Amino acid sequence: RLSPRLHCLRPHAAVSGESFARDVAFTLGGSSKSINPKWFYDDEGSALFGQICTVPEYYITVTESSILSRIGGELGSFLARDTRLVELGSGLSSKTRLILDVMEGVQDEMEYLPIDISDVLAESCHGLLDDYPRLEITGIIDTYHGGLEFLSTLDERPNLIAFLGSSLGNFDAGEGELFLKKIASCMGERDMLLLGLDLDKESGVLEAAYDDTQGVTARFNLNVLTRMNRELGANFDLSAFAHRAKYNGSARRIEMYIESLADQDVAIPAAGAAVRFGRGELVHTENSHKYTIPRIREMVREAGLGTDAIWQDEENRYALVLCSK
Ligand code: AVJ
């Protein structure tokens, strides 16, 4: 602990090497192979995601940031003066600043509780402490579920739970809706949820966003194999796999895959697995669901929440939704 204003907790060992090994043994073991996207975010993967946010094709981050900076004052009018900011999947905490700026205008003591599966959490918090001298941070390195559990142990201060970047879109169909219900069940009468969701749009725009010409998304996707090589002693040959991103219109989502370019066997010793890949075989690594405004309203309602405001950019690419009980 380097600053008295920063506390980092790791309530569960849910993100340990052992659970990584167990999880991939299971998801690569069957006939239809997949890797959970939560394993993307080692130090290198987190840095690569930060880089994705700056490639021209990936409009999500800039669009969300521009909406956030435009609506700052209005968002502030919904917040009680003692509101604590809780952020699910805070990552590098760059958009967080736009919310902290709103809070700084009205609060004497600011409290921020980021929840992220990546170790980069502590690092990104240090920058915030420098820039916000009245800020206290409790960082939770854990999965969303672990983090939400921790929420229930806190005092009565009202929370603004920020779940940005369309990260809800990573859940499988049905599970995103369930997770929204789970968040709602953790919310008190004075809590609010700020949800950032990517809107459905032309497939060309979406596929470009997930397959940028600089190849950053490709490196991000394939980095999970490098991570298995390092942490699980695997022997993936990176040149024998390729990045793929496809829009699935009927499911309204981008699907990311790693394609095996050859018939090959890979050993993953720590997972006790030997995995055979056929040429052209796809390993499903991520879904990114895209939403419509009516669907968002319905999801929020079904979670037992009311919609207080919906903000969009001028081109209707992205939506920020403020909800409460
Ligand atoms: C951080 C999950 C919202 O799905 O857009 C970016 C991750 N994957 N490019 C997304 C991601 C490929 C991102 N989320």
pLDDT 10s digits, 78-117:
999 999 999 999 877 788 999 999 999 889 899 999 999 8
Predicted confidence (pLDDT) per residue in 245-292, tens digit: 999 999 999 999 999 999 999 999 999 999 999 999 999 999 999 999
The distance between the two most distant Cα atoms of the chain, rounded to a whole number of Å, is: 61
Residue 1 has pLDDT above 60, yes or no: no
Helix (H, G, I), strand (E, B) or coil at 285: strand
Predicted confidence (pLDDT) per residue in 197-221, tens digit: 999 999 999 999 999 999 999 999 9
H or E element at residue 98? helix 96-104
Task: State what percent of residues in the chain have pLDDT above 70.
Answer: 98
pLDDT score at 285: 98
pLDDT score at 93: 77
Ligand 1 atom 13 nearest Cα: 167
Determine the residue of 286, 289, 318 to mutate for testing ligand 1's pocket, defined as the one with the most ligand atoms within 8 A of the Cβ atom: 286
Determine the residue of 38, 49, 201 to mutate for testing ligand 1's pocket, defined as the one with the most ligand atoms within 8 A of the Cβ atom: 49
**Residue 12 gets which letter from DSSP?**
S
CA of 90 to the centre of ligand 1 (A): 13
Query: Residue 196: left (phi > 0), alpha (psi -120 to 50), or beta?
Result: beta
| Residue 270 · residue 261 · CB < 8 Å | no
Paired tokens of 95? 């958009």
Residues having CB within 6 Å of any atom of ligand 1: 52, 60, 165-167, 169-170, 210, 217, 286, 288
The pairing of strands 306-312 and 318-324 is antiparallel
Residue 194 has pLDDT above 90, yes or no: yes
CA of 88 to the centre of ligand 1 (A): 14
| Residue 260 · residue 92 · CB < 8 Å | no
CA-166 nearest atom, ligand 1: 3
Lowest mean pLDDT among 125-129, 255-259, 287-291, 318-322: 125-129
Paired tokens of 148? 């939400």
pLDDT tier, 156 (very low <50, low <70, confident <90, very high otherwise): confident
pLDDT tier, 229 (very low <50, low <70, confident <90, very high otherwise): very high
- Mean pLDDT over the full length of the chain: 94
CA of 12 to the centre of ligand 1 (A): 24
Task: State what percent of residues in the chain have pLDDT above 90.
Answer: 81
Would you say how long the chain is, in residues? 325
CA-254 nearest atom, ligand 1: 4
pLDDT score at 13: 64
| Residue for token pair 């695997």 | 234
Residue 14 has pLDDT above 80, yes or no: no
**Residue 34 gets which letter from DSSP?**
B
Ligand 1 atom 14 nearest Cα: 167
pLDDT score at 25: 95
**Residue 67 gets which letter from DSSP?**
H
What whole-number distance in Å separates Cα of residue 221 and Cα of residue 219? 5
Predicted confidence (pLDDT) per residue in 230-239, tens digit: 999 999 999 9
What whole-number distance in Å separates Cα of residue 285 and Cα of residue 40? 9
Determine the residue of 220, 288, 318 to mutate for testing ligand 1's pocket, defined as the one with the most ligand atoms within 8 A of the Cβ atom: 288
CA-167 nearest atom, ligand 1: 3
| Residue 163 · residue 183 · CB < 8 Å | yes
What whole-number distance in Å separates Cα of residue 63 and Cα of residue 320? 10
pLDDT score at 16: 63
CA of 75 to the centre of ligand 1 (A): 25
**Mean pLDDT, residues 47-76:** 96
CA of 41 to the centre of ligand 1 (A): 11
CA-165 nearest atom, ligand 1: 3
**Mean pLDDT, residues 19-43:** 94
Q: Count Cβ atoms within 10 A of the Cβ of residue 66 and give its class: 0-12 exposed, 13-18 middle, 19 or more buried.
A: middle
pLDDT score at 2: 67
Ligand 1 atom 3 nearest Cα: 167
The gap between the terminal CA atoms of the chain, to the nearest Å, is 36
Degrees (nearest 5) of the Cα angle 57, 63, 186? 120
**Mean pLDDT, residues 217-227:** 98
Residue 153 has pLDDT above 90, yes or no: no
**Residue 33 gets which letter from DSSP?**
-
pLDDT score at 15: 55
